[in-house]
Amino acid sequence: MGTGSKSSHQSYAVSPTALAEAPAAPLDITSAPAAGEGTDLTGAAAGGQAFEVPELPEVESAPPAELPVDEPPADLDALLGGAESAPEPVVSAPPPEDEVEEASAEAEGVVAEEELQSSGEEPPADQAVLLQAEDIEEVQEEEEETDPPLTPVPAAPPVGEPTGTPILVGGDDFINSEATLVAYDSPDGPREVLLTHISEEAEEKLLDALSIPGTHMEEIQVEEEVKERLDLDKEKKLAELTKTAVSSVQHKLKTGSPMSDASIAKHQAAVDAVSAVLNDPSISDDEKAMAQHYMDQLNVVKDKIDNGGAPMPWMDAYEVTTTKMVTKQIPVPNGDPEPGTLAATVRKASRIKANLNPDTGQTSWDGVTRSSANGTEYEIDMGDGWKAVYRPYKENDPKTTEYSLRGQLEVHAPAGAGHGKDLVERLEQLHLMNKPMTAAEGEWTYLANNIKAQGLEGAPGMKAAMETAQGLQDLQVQEIVHQRMESLMGLDSDALQTAMKRIHLEASHKVLPMKVEVVRDAVAKASGFASGAELAASPGYEPTPSTGGKWLTWSRFDVTGKKAAVQEAFKGRSLTHNLNGGDLASLLGTGVLASTEKRAVMGIGGGLGMSEQADKMTGGANSVFLRVKKTPSKPGGGRLIWDDPSVLMQRSDYYAYNGDHYGAINPAHGHYNAGAITRDPMKIAKFTGSSNEIMFRNGIDLLGAEAPSRIVCHTAAERSSILASLTSRGITQLGGKPVEDVLCTEADYYS
């Protein structure tokens, strides 16, 4: 939903908070203008449509009541976007004069009657726009009280929480309407960041907010705070030698192989090099701290060589923060820059490089350090110490760059706590929706997700419903413009931009309930219900997301309403995930089975997935992988098992292959096969391929309602340790079962 249109002079509506009132005048929705060929729930605007506002000619105004209602006034097509605008609406009848006056009084924010009587004159046009804006904001506040957000935005996200605080943002600019607020711990105070993934349809809106010079790059010298290794470390190659020793021993731990002479020799070579530096009396304090850092790591490696055990946490090179002159490439003008108000520079793609403390479970980030990625991103200056980082779809070729990073957006607040709500509101600077999602908007997103999950896009009547929904909003915009043409004619360019933005916002407020009703009816008929009302009353219809765990997930009514049928289809089969030597205690410490992309921003090091780099190219890195297996009676250790797959099959965000395709959703990748992808739980239940895969976006909350029915530990000692940890955190049940019944050992099945 959202548009792909672009103009050199555009502004966009912020997220609607739905008003449950009808338009000011009756509309003939049977003659609503089409939204264009191919319009569907991923392409229809919901308050965020792009529009162009050229200067209007100065004409002698006429009273609004005299404007013809059944045809647009002069220049209306240009006002609404020129040649790309929807066709003229056909309105059944002019509204009664008292209705027009009432609508104008409510929506335009006219001055109070007593003020008009005392002044004896109309307010200036610019003042009328401001009053109109204030009235709309007051309506929003009133509606927020009666229709509160599905996920309230915290003023200060909890510091150090790896998964952050998930929220839902209204409208359609973000995939599944999801965003996450993370507050990283740092020496300078919390580093609060909003992380989200915008839809490809919304990208044009964001790009129109940016001022990006041409592609010609120029090198400049700038002073910058950087993290780097010490010269002595580079000279003696201490990081390289330590990393080699760690990697060699780590491989043996993950595969359960005995330690080889080669691994022991690599460890000894690193110890010798680090010891030589430590024993040098001429080294500085920083160099001594650096050498001790590596020796501490090597001592852990020595313990693993002697005693074995679980794999080690990821070990990083020793770095210090310094300010120095660095050479950067920045784009310089090559002709006129693209329109926009926010300065953006182009650079190589990167990711936040956070660190997760395995002892405390807290995540930290210094606000500077980033890991490199294969692609391009924009660094955006939002002013007042605020910035954003965006990885555009357009600039990242699916054939050569990491598909999973396309569309990722970070918004960074200045150091310090208390920016939670501002992080969401600042999205408006990027022309993106910036209000928490309400229940009315939630149902729209729920329907969109079910249409995709159930493959209803091509169902009879669905395209017409989408066109009608878009047409309703276009008609409402035109209706308001009709009512306010006199005041709009007198505005300068900036004031006209503001007025049109408010008109689109107001229109989206008014028509959302009607759009939901139209689409709900179409979805109902496509899925075997007599009407939208019957669908909404059915037991499986749950138009609000699950918000109790670490992730926010939307359900699908074809599973929640037929749970017994899904359970029967999976009879004797389970969903499983093998940790492949990963540390089960650490996994349950975070409480989530997280995707490669989520692990990166949580501060969990790489090397945990089977094919992390390949998954970034296929797009599978945004999901976690499970397999359908015959229910194991004697499962191996380090395994998560869902004996009732319907627990996860009720989600609407999964897709699957009956074979190993690296979770490919990138059409340009060799492992992608559109014909082999399925979202049908009944087909997934019949998978026979030994390397089948089901991908769940973001991850799975292991400690909430989605908890596995069995968690198989390697040893009794590991089980006891995990049980004690969960108990100390007040976790006594998983998925409605006592923790002791969920945690088991491999030996339990072989005794």
The phi and psi torsions of 44 (rounded to 5 degrees) equal -85, 135
Is the pLDDT at 326 greater than 80, yes or no? no
- For 460-482, what is each residue's pLDDT tens digit? 999 999 999 889 988 999 999 99
What is the Cα gyration radius of the chain? 29
Distance CA 465, CA 602 (A): 41
DSSP-based three-state secondary structure for 78: helix
Q: Could you tell me where the DSSP H helices lie in 58-202?
A: 76-79, 97-107, 113-119, 125-146
Nearest partner of 398 among 670, 2, 214, judged by Cα: 670
- For 368-422, what is each residue's pLDDT tens digit? 999 999 999 999 999 999 999 999 999 999 999 999 999 999 999 999 999 999 9
Tokens of 396: 């990242």
Instruction: Please answer whether residues 59 and 481 qualify as being in contact, where contact means their C-beta atoms are separated by less than 8 angstroms.
Output: no
Region of residue 659 (phi > 0: left; psi between -120 and 50: alpha; otherwise: beta) = left
Distance CA 627, CA 656 (A): 9
- For 333-352, what is each residue's pLDDT tens digit? 544 444 467 899 999 999 99
Q: Could you tell me where the DSSP H helices lie in 120-208?
A: 125-146, 203-208
> Which residue type is seen at 213?
P
Nearest partner of 332 among 224, 211, 205, 210, judged by Cα: 211
Neighbours of 459 (CB within 10 A): 16
Is the pLDDT at 8 greater than 50, yes or no? no
Distance CA 84, CA 69 (A): 22
From residue 573, alpha-carbon distances to 54, 562, 664, 702 in Å are 62, 18, 24, 20
If you ran DSSP here, which 8-state letter would residue 189 be given? S
- The whole-angstrom distance between residue 6's C-alpha and the CA centroid of its chain comes to 23
The phi and psi torsions of 634 (rounded to 5 degrees) equal -135, 70
Higher pLDDT, 633 or 287: 287
Average pLDDT score over residue span 719-742: 93
DSSP-based three-state secondary structure for 101: helix
Tokens of 138: 């007051």
Query: For residue 684, what pLDDT is reported?
Result: 98
Nearest partner of 624 among 654, 582, 583, 591, judged by Cα: 654
Nearest partner of 199 among 40, 437, 399, 1, judged by Cα: 1
**If you average pLDDT over each of 31-35, 230-234, 604-608, which comes out highest?**
230-234
Query: For residue 227, what pLDDT is reported?
Result: 83
Sheet holding 573-578, edge to edge: 654-657, 693-697, 623-630, 573-578, 639-642, 710-713, 743-745
Query: With b meaning 16 or more CB within 10 Å and e meaning fewer, what string describes 471-490?
Result: bbbbbbbbbbbbbbbbbbbb
Tokens of 417: 């706590």
Question: Which residues, 6+ apart, have CB-to-CB distance to 101 below 8 Å?
Answer: none
Is the pLDDT at 260 greater than 70, yes or no? yes
Residues 180, 657, 647, 641, CA torsion sign? negative
Query: For residue 155, what pLDDT is reported?
Result: 95
Give the N- to C-terminal CA distance of the chain in Å, as an integer.
56
Angle formed at CA 506 by CA 69 and CA 98, multiple of 5 degrees:
45
Going by DSSP bridges, is the β-strand pair 710-713/743-745 parallel, antiparallel, or unpaired?
Answer: parallel
Query: For residue 200, what pLDDT is reported?
Result: 96
Is the pLDDT at 62 greater than 50, yes or no? no
Distance CA 105, CA 483 (A): 11
Distance CA 377, CA 396 (A): 9
Tokens of 685: 């239940």
From residue 570, alpha-carbon distances to 265, 355, 647, 686 in Å are 50, 39, 12, 8
Going by DSSP bridges, is the β-strand pair 654-657/710-713 parallel, antiparallel, or unpaired?
Answer: unpaired
Residue with the two structure tokens 């997934």: 684
Instruction: Please answer whether residues 523 and 456 qualify as being in contact, where contact means their C-beta atoms are separated by less than 8 angstroms.
Output: yes
Tokens of 364: 């930290």
The phi and psi torsions of 159 (rounded to 5 degrees) equal -70, 130
- For 614-658, what is each residue's pLDDT tens digit? 999 999 999 999 999 999 888 888 899 999 999 999 999 999 999
